[in-house]
């Protein structure tokens, strides 16, 4: 089944079919209705309401402060803008860390109060009981192995993951639960390619080379909305410089207002 054969809503099963056909999966983070609508119109396969919103939308230091209510607020907007794309919401810290009941309660709220397709769970073998419980409740799950931003306190920084044995074990355990796909974050390219070959479910890479079954980028990184002075991760290709476009347009507007040339008679009633 080619992805062009899905003019209507994609389902989690479509991701495995795309993999089987050799069609790469495209995923971008989204946090509001307008960006979701634009990305959906462009033909994106998956919209991820990432807890990265803590950093790129809220300007915080990491993803840890993001709350369940905030995830629901943003996911509801994104799902309204998505026609064809699958919509996945991150389970924010510490929903999964608090165990099965906490993860079930939070995921049920996300599914009932938004039109999300499913949720994403960070973690490896240690998160299998949570993932199984969600799948048994009929909630589709995307896994996330490799660099785990919710573990930033323990990791001490956003570092490339090279421990092949741990990564293989984690991806195997998470894949066996029947998740729709697994995000592989910051894994060396050769290892990510091998893990992808061995995996029974599609992998979606970020900073993990071209050997994954799909790719994901953070909206603000790829469209040039992040602070130009801030460090852009090596993997984040910048497809546009929209931050500069906005600043330039705002400068021209300010100049027009100050000069009294906006609004013109044609723009007045």
15 binds ligand KIV (CB under 6 A): no
| Count of positions on this chain that bind ligand KIV (CB under 6 A) | 11
Q: Which of residues 190-229 bind ligand KIV (CB under 6 A)?
A: 206, 216, 218
Residue 2 vs 191, nearer CB to ligand KIV: 191
User: At its nearest, how many Å lie between ligand KIV and the CB of residue 144?
Assistant: 6
> Given the rule CB under 6 A, which of 48-56, 68-76, 110-118, 170-178 is the region that contacts ligand KIV?
48-56
Instruction: Give yes or no for residue 90 binding ligand KIV (CB under 6 A).
Output: yes
Q: Which is nearer to ligand KIV, 52 or 177 (CB)?
A: 52
Rounded CA gap, 179 and 103, in Å?
Answer: 15
Among 51, 70, 170, 221, binds ligand KIV (CB under 6 A): 51
The answer to whether residue 161 forms part of the interface with ligand KIV (CB under 6 A) is no
Among 183, 186, 192, 212, binds ligand KIV (CB under 6 A): 183
Q: How far is the CB of 51 from ligand KIV (least distance, A)?
A: 5
Report d(CA 77, CA 87) in Å as an integer. 11
Round to whole Å and give the CA distance between 161 and 175. Answer: 19
Alpha-carbon distances of 148 from 69, 71, 88, 192, 247, rounded to whole Å: 21, 18, 17, 15, 33
Asked if the bond preceding 190 is cis, omega within 30° of 0, the reply is no
- Nearest residue to the partner ligand KIV, using Cβ: 50
SS3 195: helix
CB of 23 to ligand KIV, least distance (A): 20
Residue closer to ligand KIV by CB (options 50, 118) is: 50
Catalytic option among 70, 76, 122, 185: 185
Among 18, 28, 50, 221, binds ligand KIV (CB under 6 A): 50
Secondary structure element (H or E) that encloses residue 216, with its range? strand 214-217
Question: What residues pair up with 204 in beta bridges, in sequence order?
Answer: 183, 214
Select from 46-54, 111-119, 222-230, 252-260 the region that touches ligand KIV (CB under 6 A). Answer: 46-54
- Examine the residue annotation and report whether 185 is marked as an active-site residue of this protein: yes
Give 103-162 as a DSSP string: HHHHHHHHHHHS--SEEEEEBSGGGHHHHHHHHHTT--EEEEEES-GGGHHHH-S---B-
Place of tokens 């943003």: 74
- Which of 18, 41, 16, 39 lies closest to 29 in space, CA to CA? 39
Residues that bind ligand KIV (CB under 6 A): 29, 48, 50-52, 90, 183, 185, 206, 216, 218
């Amino acid at each position: 089944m080619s992805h062009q054969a899905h003019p209507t809503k994609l389902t989690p099963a479509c991701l495995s079919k795309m993999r089987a056909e050799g069609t790469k999966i495209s995923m971008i983070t989204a946090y509001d209705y307008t960006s979701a609508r634009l990305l959906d119109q462009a033909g994106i396969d998956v919209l991820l309401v990432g807890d990265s919103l803590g950093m790129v939308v809220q300007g915080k230091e990491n993803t840890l402060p993001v709350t369940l209510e905030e995830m629901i607020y943003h996911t509801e907007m994104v799902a309204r803008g998505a026609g064809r794309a699958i919509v996945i919401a991150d389970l924010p810290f510490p929903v999964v860390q608090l165990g099965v009941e906490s993860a079930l309660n939070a995921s049920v709220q996300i599914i009932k109060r938004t039109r999300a397709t499913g949720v994403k769970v960070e973690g490896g073998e240690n998160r299998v009981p949570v993932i199984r419980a969600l799948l048994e409740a009929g909630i589709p799950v995307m896994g996330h192995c490799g660099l785990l931003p919710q573990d930033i306190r323990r990791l001490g920084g956003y570092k490339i993951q090279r421990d092949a044995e741990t990564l293989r074990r984690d991806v195997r355990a998470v894949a066996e639960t029947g998740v729709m796909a697994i995000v592989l974050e910051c894994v060396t390219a050769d290892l990510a390619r091998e893990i992808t070959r061995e995996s029974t479910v599609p992998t979606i890479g970020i900073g993990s080379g071209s050997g994954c079954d799909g790719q994901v980028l953070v909206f603000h990184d790829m469209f040039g909305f992040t602070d130009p002075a801030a460090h852009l991760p090596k993997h984040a290709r910048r497809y546009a410089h929209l931050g500069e476009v906005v600043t330039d347009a705002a400068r021209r507007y300010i100049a027009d207002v100050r000069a009294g040339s906006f609004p013109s008679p044609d723009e007045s009633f």
